[in-house]
Amino acid sequence: MTPNDPAERPDPARVGSSADLARELRLLKMWAGDPSLRALAKRTGVPASTLSDALNGSRPLPRLPVLRGLVEELDPPSGKAWEAAWRRARAADLGVRDQPAEPGVPTPRQLPFDVRGFIGRESLLRQLDDLLDPSGRPPAAVLSALTGSGGVGKTALAVHWGHRVAGRFRDGQLYVDLAGFGPGKPRTATEVHGLFLRGLGVPASSIPVNADERLALYRSLTADRALLVVLDNAATPEQVRPLLPTGPDSFAVVTTRHAFTGLRARDGAVRLYVDLLTPAEALSLLGDLIGDRVTAEPEAALSFVERCSRLPLTLRVAARHAADRPGDTLAELVADLSSRELDFFADPGDPYSDARAVFSWSLEKLDADAVRLFRLIGLHPGRRVDAHTAAALAGISYEDAEQRLGTLLHAHLIDETDAPESYGTHDLLRAYAAELASTLDTAAVDAARERLADYYVHTTANAKDAEHSWDPCDHSVLPGSDHHARRFENSVDGAAWLDAELDDLVAVTAQAAAHGRRDHAQWLSSLLWRRLHLHSLHDQGMAIHRHAFEVAETYGDDVHAGAAAFRIGDVWWRIGGYAEALEWFERAREHKRRADDKRGLGHVLSGLGTVHLLTGDLGAALECYRECRELAAAVGAPDSECVAMHNLAEVHARLGEHEAAHELFAEVVALAERHDLRDALATALIGRATELVRLGDPAAAEADLRRAGELARELGSEDLRAQILLATGIALAARGRRPEAEGHLRRSLRMFVELGNAAGQSEAARELAKVE
């Protein structure tokens, strides 16, 4: 054998089997000067034993990277010819017919066209890019699962990223819509294997009929290729696993509406959650689709994208409507969108653009129990559900509710919120759930709403009792059942629940009132009243009390209408609406007189007296407070009696009768201590401290203020803290410590402003002017 003998020259075209390949590789080694295996191992990084196996044919076929390493050292220009020879040998070993790939078969480039106007998703794109970084990566294909709800843009993201990185996959891209969610039947792995094998150049006549043989051939042909495989719209991990490429230089992207926990645990998939577009991204997409109309009407544009729930699918459908109606303003389109909701996105001719159809496909994969719960969630008027509210809606156990919520979460029909173990969904999915709920039997709907209202009333009572254990509620008089109600271990847990659920409590009160559940609406108004005013939650208080008033008045319920009207007046005077407060207190007085509710009438008289006091009519204030005190004493209502006596003391203080004011505040302190009325005790201590300062005993005043401070912390009341700062400022000014006094008064003024307490602002400003 000599290097000049053509018969002995290596020729990869002669390779038809693994034995042929070994023979031609030995010739290549000889032709290149016959370097030693040790030298080749050092230069290629491939162990000498592996090189020996490849050259001697002692193993069926060397791995493609081994072949590449050898050829790169021995004859670099012929690399492609040797790779083709390797593939022929591999096909022969696998039993594929001994015929070449169809002539002219190109490298597969199967990705759909990149979506027009792709916007945002920069963080997700970076995360996908990072997965391509080979540093520290194990020798296996990388798998990423893009998960999210229908219409959120998973496919667009996968395809856009695929086009961005296509050049990094020398052997091309394979793509398939697995039809896991949609109008047709999901594709089987066997069917897709046929498509992919054709894309990889296997002639149709050489594709095995047997499913296992197809799988084996697909895995063999992808073992040493660098492929991007996009498996779009998958329904189950079982649909995906047989289609994953096996080579270490390949990358698979799966899009699905399910969480695919098993694919992550067993197959090492990296899950990337595709959320709604941010407001900025949604506006940018809308601007790309409809142009300058977005900048011309920025507020309407923001409403437009929010009404579309910032879903790319619905934004594109809505933008098409906008383009078809160039004469309409965006504000007019928003009004139309708001009135039509899902009808705005209906497209009978194209189910893939119809929001209802897209959402329905997610439900088709779920069991009947999970579907029923999703429909019932549409009856919840708030924005969040948890296992407790779900159990109440469905009339099931907490454990069953947890399991069914988990199913909906897995399907991305609900998503986790910032609150622990709490779930929500975007507006369009919520509207879809409400539509489905409207098709339920009327009796089932009414029963679900009744259970939900029961849950909120009894849980609110439990939370209030936990936070204010010194003033327990009589649970025997509450409406409905406490079967699903939450219990709380301590005041912190109770307060946390009330904070987290406040907006939903407003919505539930509105729903109870709208459906004639006046007892539920009234009790929510009553149970929440103290907390709402202690925490200066005036907007929510006004809404809850109005709902309770309207339903009580509709049903001619004077007792509850009077109570709610009193609470509305109470909110008005606290925010400085004295005329409105007088109007509501008078309405409350009329209802209470008709109902002969003396205790309630005492509350109303106290409110009227407060407004008269704040508007300077001290005579009318005294008259109201005295009558209130007499009524409270007569009916045995120490809480009302404390309020009346406190307010009488305030009038005496305004008249300069500080001894009388001090005595009354001392009586309030004693009565509140006797009956454990802590909020009344705290305000009475503040009042007595102020009078002690005016009577020349600021040291005693400081002791009262320290005690009041402890109660304010226990009650969690910022309003009481502001009052204590005001009283402390007055005490410090009386002792000549003007800089400290000014600091306390400024802080109290700032807090009263933040809390919306107009009366407190006025008094703090008046005292501050005295020390500046």
Q: Quick one: what percent of the chain has pLDDT higher than 90?
A: 58
> 576 burial class (0-12, 13-18, 19+ CB within 10 angstroms)?
middle
By the 8 A CB rule, do 758 and 575 touch? yes
- Least-confidence region, from 39-53, 145-159, 224-238, 300-314: 39-53
Q: What pLDDT digit, counting tens, does each position of 609-625 carry?
A: 999 988 999 999 999 99
Question: Of 57, 27, 62, 56, which is closest to residue 44 (Cα–Cα)?
Answer: 62
CA distance 581 to 568: 7
Higher pLDDT, 18 or 666: 666
* pLDDT mean over 453-465: 97
CA distance 554 to 556: 6
Q: Quick one: what percent of the chain has pLDDT higher than 70?
A: 95
Higher pLDDT, 55 or 375: 375
Work out the end-to-end distance of the chain between its first and last CA atoms, rounded to an integer number of angstroms.
111
Domain ranges of the chain: 6-93, 122-273, 279-349, 366-440
Q: Average pLDDT of the chain?
A: 89
- Least-confidence region, from 221-230, 255-264, 444-453, 591-600: 255-264
Residue 554's contacts (CB-CB under 8 Å, 6 or more residues apart) are: 516, 518
Question: Of 253, 194, 185, which is closest to residue 221 (Cα–Cα)?
Answer: 194
Residue 542's contacts (CB-CB under 8 Å, 6 or more residues apart) are: 568, 571
CA distance 587 to 25: 102
Rounded (5°) CA angle 426-432-436: 145
Pairing of strands 228-234, 251-256: parallel
Question: Of 263, 234, 129, which is closest to residue 176 (Cα–Cα)?
Answer: 234
Q: What pLDDT digit, counting tens, does each position of 78-135 carry?
A: 888 888 788 778 767 665 444 444 455 678 999 999 987 788 899 999 999 888 866 5
In the predicted model, is pLDDT for residue 340 greater than 70? yes
Q: What pLDDT digit, counting tens, does each position of 275-326 carry?
A: 999 999 999 999 999 989 999 999 999 999 999 999 999 999 999 889 888 8
Please give the backbone phi and psi of residue 215, each rounded to the nearest 5 degrees, phi first: -60, -45
- 222-256 burial by CB neighbour count: b if 16+ within 10 A, else e? bbbbbbbbbbbbbbbbebbebbbbbbbbbbbbbbb
Q: Helix, strand or coil for residue 143? A: strand
Tokens representing 501?
């659920």
Q: What is the model's pLDDT at position 184? A: 80
Q: Sorting pLDDT into bands at 50, 70 and 90, what band is 3? A: very low
Q: What pLDDT digit, counting tens, does each position of 664-681 carry?
A: 999 999 999 999 999 899
By the 8 A CB rule, do 733 and 751 touch? no
Q: What is the model's pLDDT at position 104? A: 55
In the predicted model, is pLDDT for residue 730 greater than 70? yes
CATH pick for 6-93 out of 3.30.420, 1.10.10, 1.10.260, 1.10.8: 1.10.260
Question: Of 721, 692, 750, which is closest to residue 765 (Cα–Cα)?
Answer: 750
Higher pLDDT, 650 or 98: 650
DSSP code for 200: T
* pLDDT mean over 168-185: 90
Question: Of 339, 349, 344, 271, which is closest to residue 313 (Cα–Cα)?
Answer: 344
Q: Indicate the angle between helix axes 122-131 and 154-165, nearest 10 degrees.
A: 50
Pairing of strands 228-234, 173-177: parallel
By the 8 A CB rule, do 489 and 497 touch? no
In the predicted model, is pLDDT for residue 503 greater than 50? yes
In the predicted model, is pLDDT for residue 739 greater than 50? yes
Q: What is the model's pLDDT at position 2? A: 44
By the 8 A CB rule, do 694 and 728 touch? no
Q: What pLDDT digit, counting tens, does each position of 19-63 carry?
A: 888 888 888 888 888 888 888 888 888 888 888 888 887 666 787
Task: Report the 3 state secondary structure along 375-390.
Answer: HHHCCCCCCCECHHHH
Q: What's the CATH number for 366-440?
A: 1.10.10.10
Length of the chain: 772
Q: What is the pTM of this model?
A: 0.75
Please give the backbone phi and psi of residue 229, each rounded to the nearest 5 degrees, phi first: -115, 115
Rounded to the nearest 5 percent, the helix, strand and coil shares of the chain are: 65, 5, 30
Helices and strands, number each (H, E), in the chain:
36, 7
CA separation, residue 752 to residues 196, 259, 365, 615, 719 (Å): 70, 48, 54, 19, 7
By the 8 A CB rule, do 613 and 605 touch? no
Q: What is the model's pLDDT at position 431? A: 92
- Least-confidence region, from 163-167, 417-421, 487-491, 717-721: 417-421
Q: Helix, strand or coil for residue 134? A: coil
Domain 122-273 CATH superfamily: P-loop containing nucleotide triphosphate hydrolases (3.40.50.300)
Q: What is the model's pLDDT at position 59? A: 66
